[in-house]
Each structure stands twice: as structure tokens, then as C-alpha cells.
Structure 1
């Protein structure tokens, strides 16, 4: 059986409006649609780097006690946590640099 969900712990954590910190989460493996759908989003068309936000919103299934992971949540992450999640995404989806070039914005 293939593992499709992976637990993670953010270095700093997402700080919500009530001052609660959310560090532990779950990310699922990405599907092709997770990288295709964001390309249709007008925010990505205006700023290709925004694809990272949309993709992470789609693949993070749990973060602390949050009910929902939205683009605003991902936008609100500290830079170190965003960097951590980008690397984690690449690792669990076997996108680590092995001399093969990929076109995913999550690798930049």
C-alpha cells in the first residue's frame, strides 16, 4: 500500500487571528490536477509565483485546529514555514533535484 499522507511540523507555526499557533499538519501527495488547476486561477496568471499558494492550499489537508486551509492561511505563514512546506512538498512527491529539471514553482 502506498503512503499518501504525511505528517509535518512547521518550524514556527501559523498564527491565527486569536493568537493560537498551529504547527502540526498533514500533507497529501499531489495529483496532476493539483498543479494544473492553479494555472487557470487569475491570481496565478497575474503572478505565476502565486501557484505555490494555490498548490499548498490543495495538498495540505490539516493544520493544527484549523477547520479549513485557505489561500489566506498559506499567505499568512512565516517565510521559514513556507520554505519548509515547499521543500516538504518536493520531498514527498519525489521532486528532489536528481539532475532532472521540473517546471513546478514549488521548487523555486
Structure 2
């Protein structure tokens, strides 16, 4: 019997460009815990804009992004829209669906639309 898989490597479609111009495409996302979804609700930025909760949650669960020392909300805010959407889809897949569908996809390719719909 194998243990629960809690970390999932990914490759962003475009990549994050840091302040030095370095491109970072590979990273790791971990499964979310209840605290990852609850804590952002206490943040003033979320009280002003509910959508900001997604930025905070992703900054908590993306544990690696290339050689970036620490993934922060600023990091997530600076992603290209396609990469932000990719991480949102990955989050939904690993936390609410069957992560085994990731094995069939090439790194960095968009997720099939039907596979990421959440009821």
C-alpha cells in the first residue's frame, strides 16, 4: 500500500520572471489543508476583494517555484494570467478531483476544460 501523495510537481506554460529577469517554470504544489482556505478570510485584502483569497491560497500551497527563495503573494500577483489560471486548475485537480489525470499530460500544457470543472 502506498502513502498519500501530498506534493505535485508542475511546469508553468509561460513561467514567472523574477526581478532579475530569470525565468522560473518548474515548481511544486502541495495539497491544501483547511487552514490554507480559512486563514485568507482574515486578511484585509480579501475583505476588500474576495477574489484575492485565491492569490493568498496559492502563495501558501506553491512550495517551490524554480529558484525563488520564498513564494509570496507578490510572486503569485506577478504571474502571467495563463500561469495563474494553470495553478488554479492544478489546485482544483489535486484537491477536489483525481490527481492521476496529471500523469497523462505533458508538463506545461493546459488542462482539458472538462477535467477541471468542479460542481
Q: Take 2:53 and 2:43, find their aligned partners in 1: how far apart are those partners?
A: 8
Aligned partner of 2:70 in structure 1 is: 68
In structure 2, what is the Cα distance between the partners aligned to 1:60 and 1:17? 19
Q: Could you state the TM-score of these two structures normalised by the residue count of structure 1?
A: 0.88
Match of 1:83 among 67, 82, 85: 85
Mapping 1:1-108, distance limit 5 Å = 1-95=3-97, 96-97=116-117, 100=119
Say which one has the larger Rg: 2
Structure 2 CA distance for aligned equivalents of residues 72 and 97 of structure 1: 27
By how many angstroms is 1:94 displaced? 1.7
**Aligned counterparts of 1:10 and 1:97: Cα–Cα separation in 2:** 20
Counterparts of 2:39 and 2:74, CA distance in 1: 18
CA distance, structure 2, for counterparts of residue 49 and residue 94 of structure 1: 19
Distance 2:95 2:54 in 1: 14
